[in-house]
Structure 1
Amino acid sequence: MTPEKSRRPLNLQQRSTLAGEAAAAAAEVETALATPANPSVAAFFDVDNTMMQGASIFHLAKGLHRREFFTTREILSAAWKQAYFRVVGVEDPDHVAETRASALSFISGHTVAELESLGEEIFDEAMAHRIWPGTRALAQMHLDQGERVWLVTAAPIEIAQIIARRLGLTGALGTVAEHVDGVYTGRLVGDMLHGPAKGEAIKALAAREGLDLDACSAYSDSFNDLTMLTLVGDPCAVNPDARLRGYAKQHGWRIRDYRTGRKAARLGLVAGAVAGAATGAVAAGVAVRRRR
């Protein structure tokens, strides 16, 4: 991925479009699934708290920190910038741009090959057992019907593709971190694949793959993914937060909840916070856990 030509601040729509187009361009299709029975139909699954319990980027960051992929000083710096923006609500363009740029700064200087190799290990030790069986069954249902299944997540595209490959899915759309000659620069291409950016990524992929979005399905736990869910003809709320559950009921959407009792209530309350953490503040979670 070559550096962006311009470093001028971009507005939300521009960043989202750039991130979405980059994610779609980086997406790979498994050869065995390149000619599906229903080539114009696909299903899109969010990852965090939808396909997997918890935030994938948190599990990734924790695993990388254990392997001394980055220092505590680096992670605390990124956490401070993100927390300051989210808590104080500063609207200074330069500070906001710096905060977004630091979201994946902890991989700066490392190679794509390193992240991919460690990502395989981290999936096995921290992610595989957190896959929701019910959501995995929904994905398999679409595959059995000859449809393609894509993950759509704020996690780095390299990790998203590992998760998709391990689950036997078609492919993944994720955040694209800029790299030059296989080495990460610490900057993002556009923005995190979050909120509006997910919608842009799906639209770009649909145009490339010839998908009929009215015939497609989408699954998510978060109201923040409303852009993605309303793009398709068959949206479904999975383990939804309170706002998404209410919206889904109001519009007659399918609702699937694979949590039980107290866990469902607790996770529903914090789902919005988890989604926010996926945009960069997850670094703080790693540091806090290490102090306990």
Structure 2
Amino acid sequence: MSPPEKPRRASNLQRRSKLAGEAAAAAAEVETALDHPVDTDSAAFFDVDNTVMQGASIFHLARGLHRREFFTTREILGAAWKQAYFRIVGVEDPEHVADARSSALSFIAGHTVTELEELGEEIFDEAMAHRIWPGTRALAQLHLDEGQRVWLVTAAPIEIAQIIARRLGLTGAMGTVAEHENGVYTGRLVGEMLHGPAKAEAVKALAAREGLDLARCSAYSDSANDLPMLSLVGDPVAINPDATLRAHARQQGWRIRDYRTGRKAARAGLMAAALAGAAAGTVAAGMALKERRGHS
């Protein structure tokens, strides 16, 4: 009886990814000044973390919110560990994906949309603005100069994604949509995190809404997790790519742009490993402490 479970879980994940993509596309804002682009058939889609911005936007956001006592240290450590695991492992473990999905953005439950947006503006100025990659920003501007629309596509909360897009003068953004009722977050997501296949669903939904020809569109990312999105468009580009994406891009003849120096790239890899180790150690220590308390 166990074999049917995997196809059912995969089907549920695909359904949630599609729902997340459609929700993100529906929530995507279009700046008034760009409502009538010169080139109406093509556009560019940019991943955010390590593509547009150095590091993870959700980490910068969470750190800024934590400093403002938006949530407790225990809450952010639990969410951070599950999200880090999800990003590393991908969709191979459906049970953990479901757990990660249920915990994603749960720390904002009970807070208002307005509150997150206002704090997001402050946090962008203090923690994100100086981390924008100038090279990627220039690529986005080239598309704008050619009369094309440019959207960010990220797993970060859509409210934050829209702030980043607005501050960079882009057309709009698609991000993870957190459910809210009467302007207050419930702690649940609409569908799935906007990650991997969900990003591709968001791009397809937006292309259908805006009448885009995906064969004439471009997409940019640093991660092999975004291959579903990159493979949708006629002009996929690897930016600061991980090893898997770099190898795939070379094999496919895709453009590759790396705005890191060798030293910075190495340092980024070491830092990622250190953070992952620290997160694992913290969680393990917390579990051990909890276990000892339970036996006392």
Please indicate the TM-score interval, normalised by the length of the shorter structure.
Answer: 0.7 to 0.9
Change over 3 Å in CA distance of 1:125–1:206 after alignment to 2:
same
Q: Is the 8 A contact 2:62 2:76 kept in 1?
A: no
Relative to structure 1, is the Cα distance of residues 52 and 181 closer, same or farther in structure 2, using a 3 angstrom cutoff? Answer: same
Aligned AA (1:159):
I
Does the Cα contact within 8 Å between 1:242 and 1:268 map onto a contact in 2? no
Counterpart for residue 160 of structure 1: 161
Residue 284 of structure 1 and its aligned partner are, at CA, apart by: 4.7
Q: How much is the aligned-residue C-alpha RMSD, in angstroms?
A: 2.8
The 3-state SS of whatever aligns with 1:14 is: helix
Count of residue correspondences:
271
Which stretch shows the higher mean deviation, 31-40 or 8-17?
Answer: 8-17
For 2:230 and 2:114, the matched residues in 1 are separated by: 33
Whole-angstrom distance in 2 between the partners of 1:239 and 1:92: 28
Q: TM-score, normalised by structure 2?
A: 0.84
Name the aligned partner's letter for residue 154 of structure 1.
A
Question: In structure 1, what is the equivalent of residue 15 of structure 2?
Answer: 14
Q: Contact 1:240/1:268 (CA < 8 Å) preserved in 2? A: no
Task: Give identity over the alignment, percent.
Answer: 80
CA distance in 2, matches of 1:140, 1:81: 35
Structure 2 spans left out of the alignment, 5+ residues = 1-7, 284-296
Instruction: Give the equivalent residue in structure 2 for 1:37.
Output: 38
2:118: which partner in 1? Answer: 117
Q: How does 1:80-99 map to 2 (within 5 A)?
A: 93=95, 96-99=97-100
Is 1:213 the counterpart of 2:219? The answer is no
Q: Verify the 8 A CA contact 1:239 1:268 in the aligned structure 2.
A: no
Cα gap change, 1:170 to 1:254, in 2 (>3 Å): same
Counterparts of 1:198-277 in structure 2 under 5 Å? 198-267=199-268
- The CA deviation at 1:75 is 2.1
CA shift in 2, pair 1:222/1:84, >3 Å: closer
1:99 deviates by: 3.1
Structure 1 or 2, whichever has the larger Rg, is 2
Distance verdict in 2 for CA 1:248–1:263, change over 3 Å: same
CA 1:74/1:36 → structure 2, altered by over 3 Å: closer, same or farther?
same
Partner of 2:185: 184
SS of equivalent residue, structure 2 residue 63: helix
Structure 1 residue 96: Cα displacement: 4.8
Unaligned 5+ segments in structure 1 are: 1-7
Q: Residues 110 and 34 (structure 1 numbering): CA distance in 2 closer, same or farther, change over 3 Å? A: same
Q: What is the TM-score when the length of structure 1 is the normalising length?
A: 0.85
Alignment-mate amino acid for residue 187 of structure 1: R
Q: How far 1:168 moved relative to its partner?
A: 0.1
Would the alpha carbon gap of residues 174 and 81 (structure 1) be closer, same or farther in structure 2, given more than 3 Å must change?
closer
Q: Secondary structure at the match of 2:247?
A: helix
Match of residue 49 from structure 1: 50
Aligned to 1:3: none
CA positional deviation for 1:78: 3.1
Check conservation: 1:16, 1:191, Cα contact below 8 A: yes
Aligned mates of 2:23, 2:94 — CA distance in 1: 26
**Which residue pairs with 2:28 in the alignment?**
27
Alpha-carbon separation, structure 2, partners of 1:90 and 1:221: 20
Distance in 1, Cα, partners of 2:230 & 2:84: 28
